[in-house]
Structure 1
Amino acid sequence: MKKARFSRDFILVVIGQIISLFGNAALRFAIPLYLLNQTGSSVLYGTVTACAFLPSIVMSPIGGIVADRVNKRTIMVVLDFFTAALTIFVSIFLEQDGQIFLLAGALMLLYGIAGAYQPSVQSAIPVLVTQQHVMKANSVINTVNSLSSLTGPVLGGVLYSTYGLRTVLIICSACFFASAVMEIFIHIPYKKPEKKEGIWKIVRADFEQSFQFIRRERPEIGKVVLVICGINLFLSAMIIVGMPYIITEVLEIQTNLANRLCGFAEGALGAGGLAGGICAGIFSEKLQIEDAGKAILICALCLFPMGISMLLPVSALTVYGVMAVCCFIVMLFSTIFTVQMISYIQIATPRNLIGKVIAMTLTVSTCSQPLGNALYGILFDACRDKEAFVILFAGITSLLLAAGTGKYFGSLRSQPR
């Protein structure tokens, strides 16, 4: 009998991801948008989203270390139950004084939880599927992420503009609770480590082990991480901060409609990611690491129509349409690039180090994201009525990055081991 490509446990992981990530995507869209609507400040928006990434930077390496030493199912279940309780807490105290600090703190916790959660999912993939199916499994996980990024902001935008933030919080709490219950039934192979040392000694030893592995045995992984840092700093941060700000505060669109259109634009990003994940799965055998630089190049070129459209005498909805289409294309090719990079790292890394190495790569690459968010928050505030030039600046820097990294990716091999 032919063995199934994906096991029952991997399918349960995927279903749990769909439910949990839907709630996460909706909240990560609605909370910053609520703050932007209340203040109209791109600086506050950029600062809050920048601060939100800081816990992720701290928790990613911890999550990777824990993922290699604790049952991955337990990590997923506990974090989803905790997130459900967190969102209920925020919904109860939403109208109290100091709501900006409450929501900023909740957003930071959400990102921190995501940082601790993802290494468990990523390190579970090589355990639940065979090596020849690793890239296809990664494309499935990325497709799920993109599907959640598509439906979460769209439905979150509709619910937020119609019923308010509290309704979004309650629905998302139910999603996290349902995901946690489903994950209880997942079986992930686990062997308890024999060492019983102090947690900080373990953290230090594991971090040094993964660092030495990247530095001495796989230095190309470190260079790949630096490329991702550049993308996060100049390209991703502009879209994260710029798109909601331009749609809700710059374009002359009525507030409720602008909030819904912002949700649809986030949905376009999710749809692009979904298409990218599907393409990565279909063409997994044809995707070569040597060609990864071309994906960055296409993403960079897509920023120019966005900036140029804002300089032309066209309607606000036309500018919005151009932005939505370009964001779709950017996300499509960035997802393909992400699948290639994660698969490369997973195949290049010994199984006992996968969680730690992925956590370190996520940590280092995420460090540039808050810097980029804060940078573009300041730039958009300083360049009021000249926002198009900020987008063109992002396009030029991303284009230079793509040109500089194309040759490096051309020197890599698709099968590092």
Structure 2
Amino acid sequence: MKREKRVFNINFILYLMGRMISDTGTSIQMMTMPLYIIDAGGSAATVGLFSFASLVPALLIYPFAGVLGDRMNRKTIMVITDFVSAGVILGLAFISYLDKMSLTLLLLGQIIISLLNGLFDPATRGMLPQLVGQDELTKANSKVASLRGLSVLLGPVIGTALYANFGITVLFLINGISFLLSGISEMMIRYKHVKRESAEGISGIAADLLEGMRFILANKIISKLCYFFLVLYSLIQPIFSVVLPLFYKTHLNYPDTQYGYLQSILVLGMLVGSVFVGLFFGKDNTMFTPLKIGCNILIGSMLMFSLLMFPNILFVLGNDSILYFALLAVILCLFSAANMFINVPVQSFIQRETSNEYMSRVFSIVGMITRGGMPFGALLYGIVLDRVEVHWIVLGATLLVILIFAGFLSSLSVVHHH
């Protein structure tokens, strides 16, 4: 047993390494994309469209990826998608090096990467509970989230510095190589695929999907969490991907490198949040306490964020002052820490409640539902931002979120006590 446990931990380390390397590469590239698009003559709508192209294809392929992840070897899926992603991104690097890059090509490349990511994600989430014990899940998820945080933290600082000095080609090159290394790391994981009987063809896939849906609907808490995250993500995620870069470029007088710092602060919050969840709730099998804490911090930081955007406050504090920047940084840090208090325990809860044969499907369906609102949220924010002042939009979104939280937490406690 001792030997097996040690091997399992080596597997978990390889799993973490693969994730960390490709996450770092991706964040180096992705964080600078809005800046590159604006520099290349794109508008708010183009940034919104890029956000849309990063998310929608993954969502469309998610349900099938879940069926694949439960039928096929999850390790094989991870390795192949990483290698193909590397090929596509290195292709973009070459096109950019030849000076033939266009916004259309960029969007096309992003769509392919997004599809591959959609295949990769349910397989990795389904694989994790097989690499660590049930009682270790919250700790393991908090480690995955912390390392992801760390890699995304390194990304913007390295990315904006490299972009300012060397342009976009180098960023593509680094990201492509990171996917190659990630695939190599995953190849070394010792993992046993449990084959199960399943019907062939389209009807078999449909039957598998329906089984996954039934499982989710039968679990009252998981289905409630799905609706909650759907609304939450569509309202909150675009604030990071669309509102923040635009507000930064149009209302604040800081250089681009400072934008990189803000992105890093967001991730620092993520890191702090996931570490705290691991420390205080790692042994705890409940998700309700951290969830409530997270919801309260999130509302508080959103309110403060919308206040900071009001012209009068911007005028008093100064749109290029150290004080304003520091306040913005603290609020964004709290904002993303709150997200981890909500995310990590919920993920562990779903992994504990789900048996291995359903794992990838349940995560793919939950992922599709919860993230389904994000791209439409991004598009909507992009359109509304051209017509309504940014501070009113964020304040409106905050008030909506308060109402949603109140309703959700009260309905969840009813289900929980039953």
TM-score (norm 2): 0.91
**Residue 331 of structure 2: which of 326, 340, 352 is its match?**
326
Partner of 2:381: 376
* Structure 1 residues 180 and 310: CA distance shift in structure 2, 3 A: same
* Residues in 1 aligned to 2:8 and 2:382: alpha-carbon distance in whole angstroms: 43
* Structure 1 residues 321 and 379: CA distance shift in structure 2, 3 A: farther
User: What secondary structure sits across from 2:283 in the alignment?
Assistant: coil
Find out whether 1:290 has 2:295 as its counterpart: no
Partner of 1:176: 179
How far apart are residue 287 of structure 1 and its match?
7.0
- Alignment-mate amino acid for residue 44 of structure 1: T
* Residues in 1 aligned to 2:328 and 2:354: alpha-carbon distance in whole angstroms: 38
How far apart are residue 387 of structure 1 and its match?
1.8
* Residues in 1 aligned to 2:23 and 2:45: alpha-carbon distance in whole angstroms: 27
How far apart are residue 179 of structure 1 and its match?
1.1
- Alignment-mate amino acid for residue 120 of structure 2: Y
Partner of 1:265: 262
- Alignment-mate amino acid for residue 309 of structure 1: L
* Residues in 1 aligned to 2:329 and 2:404: alpha-carbon distance in whole angstroms: 23
Partner of 1:338: 343
* Residues in 2 aligned to 1:152 and 1:193: alpha-carbon distance in whole angstroms: 40
Find out whether 1:307 has 2:309 as its counterpart: no
- Alignment-mate amino acid for residue 310 of structure 1: M
Cα offsets for 1:353-402 (capped at 9, x unmatched): 0110011000111110011101111122213xx32222212221122222
* Residues in 2 aligned to 1:204 and 1:11: alpha-carbon distance in whole angstroms: 35
- Alignment-mate amino acid for residue 121 of structure 1: T
How far apart are residue 248 of structure 1 and its match?
2.2
- Alignment-mate amino acid for residue 302 of structure 1: S
Partner of 2:151: 148
User: What secondary structure sits across from 1:7 in the alignment?
Assistant: helix
- Alignment-mate amino acid for residue 251 of structure 1: L
Q: Write the mapping of 1:194-233 to structure 2, written as runs, cut at 5 A.
A: 194-195=197-198, 197-198=200-201, 200-215=202-217, 217-233=218-234
Partner of 1:72: 74
Structure 2 spans left out of the alignment, 5+ residues: none
Find out whether 1:82 has 2:84 as its counterpart: yes
Partner of 1:126: 129
* Residues in 1 aligned to 2:103 and 2:50: alpha-carbon distance in whole angstroms: 9
* Residues in 2 aligned to 1:102 and 1:247: alpha-carbon distance in whole angstroms: 26
User: What secondary structure sits across from 1:174 in the alignment?
Assistant: helix
Cα offsets for 1:5-62 (capped at 9, x unmatched): 9621111000111101111122222223311232352122112212321111112222
* Residues in 2 aligned to 1:404 and 1:4: alpha-carbon distance in whole angstroms: 45
User: What secondary structure sits across from 1:193 in the alignment?
Assistant: coil
Alpha-carbon contact 1:84-1:173 (below 8 Å) kept: yes
> How much is the aligned-residue C-alpha RMSD, in angstroms?
2.1
Alpha-carbon contact 1:305-1:322 (below 8 Å) kept: no
* Residues in 1 aligned to 2:83 and 2:45: alpha-carbon distance in whole angstroms: 33
How far apart are residue 133 of structure 1 and its match?
0.7
Find out whether 1:192 has 2:198 as its counterpart: no
* Residues in 2 aligned to 1:118 and 1:302: alpha-carbon distance in whole angstroms: 29
User: What secondary structure sits across from 2:304 in the alignment?
Assistant: helix
Partner of 2:65: 63
Cα offsets for 1:152-202 (capped at 9, x unmatched): 12211111122111111111111111111121111122123344612x233
* Residues in 2 aligned to 1:379 and 1:113: alpha-carbon distance in whole angstroms: 31
Q: Name which of structure 1's ranges 83-92 and 94-103 shifts more when overlaid on structure 2.
A: 94-103
* Residues in 2 aligned to 1:330 and 1:20: alpha-carbon distance in whole angstroms: 25
- Alignment-mate amino acid for residue 149 of structure 1: V
How far apart are residue 241 of structure 1 and its match?
0.9
Find out whether 1:280 has 2:277 as its counterpart: yes
* Residues in 2 aligned to 1:136 and 1:409: alpha-carbon distance in whole angstroms: 24
**Residue 14 of structure 2: which of 7, 12, 15 is its match?**
12
**Residue 354 of structure 1: which of 359, 381, 394 is its match?**
359
The count of residues paired between Structure 1 and Structure 2 equals 407
- Alignment-mate amino acid for residue 61 of structure 2: M
* Residues in 1 aligned to 2:23 and 2:241: alpha-carbon distance in whole angstroms: 18
Alpha-carbon contact 2:89-2:176 (below 8 Å) kept: yes
Partner of 1:237: 238
How far apart are residue 106 of structure 1 and its match?
1.8
- Alignment-mate amino acid for residue 374 of structure 2: Q
Find out whether 1:102 has 2:99 as its counterpart: no
* Residues in 2 aligned to 1:277 and 1:109: alpha-carbon distance in whole angstroms: 30
* Residues in 2 aligned to 1:24 and 1:60: alpha-carbon distance in whole angstroms: 20
- Alignment-mate amino acid for residue 319 of structure 2: A
Percent identity, please.
24
Structure 1 spans left out of the alignment, 5+ residues: none
Alpha-carbon contact 2:32-2:156 (below 8 Å) kept: yes
* Residues in 2 aligned to 1:106 and 1:359: alpha-carbon distance in whole angstroms: 23
